[in-house]
Amino acid sequence: MPSPVQLGIHHQFYFLECLISSCVEAQRKQEAQLDVPFSKAEMVSALVEVVERHQSPCKPGSILPSTLTALYHLSRLKPKTPRELETRFLGLALPVLASLEDLSQDREEQTFYENTTQTWQVLLQSLLREDPTIGHLFSLLDQQQFGLQSEKGTERAWATRNITALLRRAVHMQDFKLGEEIHQVGQFVASFGILLADAEMEVGWRAQESLHMLFQLLLRQRGIKTREAPRLWPKEKQLEWGMAAYKNIASVGKVRILPLTGSGVGWSRVLDPFPSPNLWGGKGSKPSLQLPFAFSRLEWRAKRG
């Protein structure tokens, strides 16, 4: 297949437009594959070349959003997207997308930011739909670690939005397959646990939701329903709140997690895992260990003195 990057930018846009139109038409006719003389791997490889060529900051008029849309439509056709090409594509696109900031007062730029972010999330979920396995999920989550390590709060928030949307999609897939790779969940629990104390409130809130989703997958792996989770909790009745939460997590996933320590920071209480007006504490909020799966939402609070 001729490389599209050898053509001018207008021809590259035309190539993407034709590819998207062909995929949409194939889906409309309920065809599993494109009737073209090129393999899916060759077409995805061409998209990788386009992304590799355009690594400049993403802004209105950029070619990257169209490339994301093209891969999304290709992912809805057979065969599966080759894993190595998928990883390379996402690895090239993510640094450019992570630099997007929803801080502009310009309405066109705000719309571009929202549409591009939504396209990225839909693409990730469609790729997971191709291969709904725990190993593939962890591979996609690994790609998002780039944003979690950023010093910018906006980039961390952007990454946690994508992770939460991806985990939510996995939890609601009826045919999602869990396997031996489930033991890797420990590293993600540790990463999200650290983010609970993030300075950006949205990052901490989404980290809590991500932990909740991971624990849902752990319970499914063990064949336990959410309402049955309390029977896994330790029997001691006088445990300090933080230690109780730690033991509850470990009892579900059999994951060894070192308690986070730091000057002036400690466990305060375990909260209800479902959104509520008292999510971040406040007047009228109460500890809720008695609620199903309550240990999935943890609040860190700085201690005075």
pLDDT at residue 249 greater than cutoff 70: no
Statement: the pTM of the whole predicted model exceeds 0.85: no
Residue 30 pLDDT > 50:
yes
pLDDT band for position 203 (cuts 50, 70, 90): very high
142-173 tens-digit pLDDT = 988 888 888 888 889 999 999 999 999 999 99
Residue 105 pLDDT class (50, 70, 90 cuts): low
Q: Does the pLDDT of residue 305 top 50, yes or no?
A: no
% of the chain at pLDDT higher than 90: 43
A 10 A CB-CB count for 21 gives 11
Please determine, for residue 302, whether its predicted confidence score (pLDDT) is greater than 60.
no
Half-sphere exposure of 287 (CA within 13 A, CB side): 11
Mean pLDDT across the chain, nearest whole number? Answer: 77
pLDDT value, residue 152: 87
Ranges 58-62, 110-114, 253-257, 280-284, most confident:
110-114
Measure the CA–CA gap between 104 and 116, rounded to whole angstroms. Answer: 15
Domain boundaries of the chain, sorted by first residue: 1-131
| Tens digit of each residue's pLDDT (9 = 90 or more) over 53-70 | 998 877 877 899 999 999
216-250 residues labelled b (16+ CB within 10 A) or e (exposed): bbbbebeeeeeeebeebbeeeeebebbebbbbbbb
More confident residue, 11 or 56: 11
